[in-house]
Chains A and B, each alone.
Chain A
């Protein structure tokens, strides 16, 4: 499953965001400051979600590359929406790679800002950790 998640992530980041994740590191990438967590609920025989957690710096790179804008021209809504769309594409690619039946339905993506430095912040238990340039990228699948 994680191999399919990884392949889906690489496809989306390289193809739509022109960013190149590196394979998982032995050491956990650094997540600090504010960030964006976006996820796509999947309903069906089992309910789960597929999502991304990224620091703001990576979120801004994603949005800038996606829209062809300079980071200073981006609105906070565009930044959050770009991460949501990234999660949406990763989820779609992941389900196809898993050969999930049509009984599994992708729901509209959701997102929220998160404080990555907060003691209350927890990375998901079932995830991939990648590095994109100097930023951490978490890709996760969680039960709902």
Chain B
């Protein structure tokens, strides 16, 4: 079953990179939606079914904290797995996201296979040959 992914990042270049990684990695990618901040992410969720969200933290207008909080408080969206993809690796900064129920964390810079492994594990495709190791995943 292909999975719909929402990428929320203020960098169009980073969104393009993640989309490319998903497309070529063997991940069963359905539709791939993009938002430049949390507000755009919420607007996409209003319109489309999304299986997993990849979100940056530091974004203008609506940052990752506000976006993920809104998502986790919404009755229909609160079960969607959210993976934070960020330059942040400071525990003090990441702890609040863990409390919000974020499913995983990928630190930039990342290796392409890290994204596929995270998503494969989260979405139950752990049978792939190299899906056992969650390199770069701190949660």
* Nearest B residue (CB) for A80: B13
Interface SS of chain A: helix, strand, loop or mixed? helix
**What residues of chain A lie closer than 8 Å to B76, measured between beta carbons?**
none
Which A residues fall within an 8 A CB radius of B? Answer: 11-12, 15-16, 63, 66-68, 77-78, 81-82, 84-85, 88-89, 91-93, 95-96, 100-102, 106-109
Which B residues fall within an 8 A CB radius of A? Answer: 10-14, 16-17, 20, 58-60, 86-90, 92-93, 107-111
**What residues of chain B lie closer than 8 Å to A96, measured between beta carbons?**
88-90
Q: A85–B14 contact, CB under 8 A?
A: yes
* Nearest B residue (CB) for A91: B87
Q: B90–A102 contact, CB under 8 A?
A: yes
**What residues of chain A lie closer than 8 Å to B92, measured between beta carbons?**
101-102
How far does the alpha carbon of A91 sit from the alpha carbon of B89 in the complex, in Å?
11
In the complex, what's the smallest C-beta–C-beta distance from B55 to chain A, in angstroms? 14
In the complex, what's the smallest C-beta–C-beta distance from A60 to chain B, in angstroms? 13
Q: B58–A108 contact, CB under 8 A?
A: yes
**What residues of chain B lie closer than 8 Å to A15, measured between beta carbons?**
109-111
How far does the alpha carbon of A89 sit from the alpha carbon of B14 in the complex, in Å?
11
